[in-house]
Amino acid sequence: MQLFPFTDAQQAVIDKVEKVAAGFASRAADYDEKACMPEQDILDMHEAGMLLSSLDTKYGGLGYGVHQDDPLCMFLTIEHLAMVNPATAHCFQVHSNCIQMISKFCTEEQVMRFTEPTRTSGKLMPAAGSEPTSHIVTGGMSAMGQRVEGGFLVNATKHYVTNAPGAELMWVMVKDSETERDIMLMIPANDPGITTDESFWDPIGMRACVSPQMTFKDVFVPQENLLGSPGDFFGDNWLGKINLGFTATYVGAMRGIYEYVIEYMKGKGRGSDVQRQQYVGEMKSRIDAIRLLLYTAVTNFKDDQAGAMLMVEEAKWLAVESSDRFSYLLGQAAGSTLLMRKHPVERLMRDLHLHILHGRHFLTMGVVGKAALGEPYMVGMST
């Protein structure tokens, strides 16, 4: 029985992504070892026409953004990329979030100008929002965009700037000195006022989605590089919408692990072991539950955005809890040999473990509980 009734178009996207991602497998270990951007993966996605997936069709995109024609296609893309390489999936996710915010908030002239590097050269867009000294929700941003004649003067330190290597343009969020609200700016990556600390990025997992720390010193940004208006990012709840992509990456990585475990166990003749069968059953049940929550939320996003955002919180919480559980389940089902480096499961588990470590996970179920009890809540607090 099919888990979810995909449309023909959605199934075609799955088939296409699986074909493209099949080439990632042989390169994943090398990218992981070197902690470098998955350049050939990105080129393959560019040649397959995938890098403008979240751009509105009126601008030449595929229309897969959350406010567009078929948003489930974007998250199916992320999920199926993550089954092979979660780091590549995250590079795609961060880039796609930038592109869909450009599509949502920018003028036609800005859209065409900001997407040109992707359109012509397959360049990914970095997102510089997170800061090492404050949390952008609870503590406010220390990054400042000082109003000056003709634009803004930016001084900021940002970390986890995914996709920074090789980028031409960067999406950067700072605080507007005039309104003290969040503003989104597009900044050339080669600005002389930007310095990059490449030594920052040496993690245990997700090593190929290179995300260095960057410092912006008196970087001038012209007014025409402002996206939308002050307050648009938080006012339009983009922090919550980002949870969709994270959840798709989590469940994709788990599916990649699960499918390898199944083939490994069959090859070892362990499928008839009653105890091992129970561990496999739990793995599948958790994956299916997360997928159903995620797919249902995304499919109903246009009709009930508030309800969909809450359902994504449930999906993300279950995905994180299941990720922690998976290391035990796969060990009991298949044995510790599966975690030796010759098997991709070792890398997938490291990627998954690092990627779920957002320090505010405990708030996710609190948001769902508040909504159920009729209390005020804010989605996206766990991002």
Domain 127-230 matches domain 237-373 at the CATH topology level: no
| pLDDT at residue 271 in the model | 84
| pLDDT at residue 338 in the model | 86
pLDDT in tens, 95-109: 999 999 999 999 999
| pLDDT at residue 252 in the model | 98
The topology under which CATH files domain 127-230 is: Butyryl-CoA Dehydrogenase, subunit A; domain 2 (2.40.110)
Q: By percentage, how much of the chain surpasses pLDDT 70?
A: 97
> Given pLDDT bands bounded at 50, 70 and 90, which one contains residue 132?
confident
| pLDDT at residue 324 in the model | 86
Find out whether 169 and 204 touch, Cβ atoms under 8 Å.
no
Tokens of 69: 């024609």
Domain assignments of the chain as residue spans, ordered by start: 8-121, 127-230, 237-373
In angstroms, the CA 119 to CA 59 distance is: 11
> Considering only the top CATH level, what class is 8-121?
mainly alpha
Q: Is 352 helix (H, G, I), strand (E, B) or coil?
A: helix
> Given pLDDT bands bounded at 50, 70 and 90, which one contains residue 232?
very high
The topology under which CATH files domain 237-373 is: Butyryl-CoA Dehydrogenase, subunit A; domain 3 (1.20.140)
The structure's pTM equals 0.95
Report the candidate in 88, 91, 89, 79 with the shortest Cα–Cα distance to residue 287.
Answer: 79
pLDDT in tens, 13-48: 999 999 999 999 999 999 999 999 999 999 999 999
| C-alpha triplet 122, 99, 299: angle, nearest 5° | 120
pLDDT in tens, 268-284: 888 888 999 999 999 99
Report the candidate in 291, 295, 289 with the shortest Cα–Cα distance to residue 10.
Answer: 295
